[in-house]
Amino acid sequence: MSPVGRAPAFVADAMLGRLAKALRMLGYDASYRRDASDEEIRLTALRERRVVLTRDREIAATGLPIRVVLVEGDRVADQLRHVAGVLGLDPGAVVPFSRCLLCNAPVVQVERDALRDAVPPYVFATQRRFARCPSCGRVYWAATHVERARRWLGDALGAAGTGGGCVVRKNVLVTGRPGVGKTTLVRAAVARLGAGAMGFVTAEIREGGERVGFSIAALDGPSGVLARVGLDSPYQVGRYGVNRADLERVGVPALERAVAGARLIVMDEIGRMELCSEAFQRAVHRALDSPVPVLATVQDRSNEFLDAVRARPDAVLVRITETDRDAALWRVVGLLDGLLSRPPAGGGA
């Protein structure tokens, strides 16, 4: 599984402007100029390591070391499906609606108050999140046409590949070294999404400026002590004794309630302390297997359980570092915003 952001970039010929726009909607870097010559397209692909998308066999017939897809189909949905099948595109590797549809530049999230006079009053009153293209200045928000576009993209890609179906990567897993800000990211993402989130979070217990343990709290109620220095327990992680009783009293029921009634399941975190309980592991699997989107932090260690969670085909792994906290946050918000905008499985549009 590739972390978010590792995806091919494209350059499309003059006949494929609508396909380029569809790829931009998905989040792919898709260069397009209606007046670009055949030579310019080839050289752009070579210089910028782009895949050429063309319906022109003369463009495709090149001796340059570039990848070319001779696009089939007259309808843009068929073209998108063809490209996805040929290249094995993974829509989970990019963030939908993260690029300007006009000029292809990555859009930047903008604080709502900064756009009070830049958007219609009704839009300002009813929308919470905005983005702007730093190149052309166009402002974007999640209007009803965005939901229609999401459904159209899902339908177009549903038949891509040989399986006749598209795995929805609805489990967003945040990882990184201890102390890098995974929990802060989760809390910020939940606040920005405003979704009906349920699940659990953990936090440090500090006394006299020193960390002495960790608490666990359900988002909708009870809390307890997950681990503490000096706690008499058969389950020891470093200098901490793990309190399996509170983990199963707080964490397991919180996940069961979330699977039954949440729009977003939060698990912060899935790590060595939490894995002392088989009941907790079963609850994690039920949450990941459910149709409800999941936002979870996963300890950056290797063991059989954590490796299996990270390797799930329905999971997207987002790694956070000290230098890209903001980028990781908006990546997570973008992924989950798209998932939360989807109609429920089996429901009507």
318-346: b or e for each residue (b if 16 or more CB lie within 10 Å)? bbbeeeebeebbbbbbbbbbbbbebeeee
Each residue's pLDDT tens digit, 186-224: 999 999 887 789 999 999 999 999 999 999 999 998 999
Beta strand 10-12 with 30-32 is parallel
Each residue's pLDDT tens digit, 56-72: 888 887 778 888 988 88
Query: Between these two residues, 337 and 110, which has the higher pLDDT value?
Result: 110
**Alpha helix positions (H), the chain:** 17-26, 38-48, 57-60, 76-87, 121-126, 144-157, 182-193, 244-246, 252-261, 278-289, 304-310, 325-340
Each residue's pLDDT tens digit, 284-310: 999 999 989 999 999 998 888 899 898
Give the whole-angstrom CA distance, residue 242 versus residue 231: 7
Q: Which residue ranges make up each domain of the chain?
A: 10-157, 171-340
Give the whole-angstrom CA distance, residue 317 versus residue 200: 20
CATH superfamily of 171-340: P-loop containing nucleotide triphosphate hydrolases (3.40.50.300)
pTM summary value = 0.60
Q: Which residue has the tokens 């009634």?
A: 261
Going by C-beta distance under 8 Å and a sequence separation of 6 or more, which residues neighbour residue 46? 64, 65, 66
Query: Is the pLDDT at 12 greater than 90, yes or no?
Result: yes
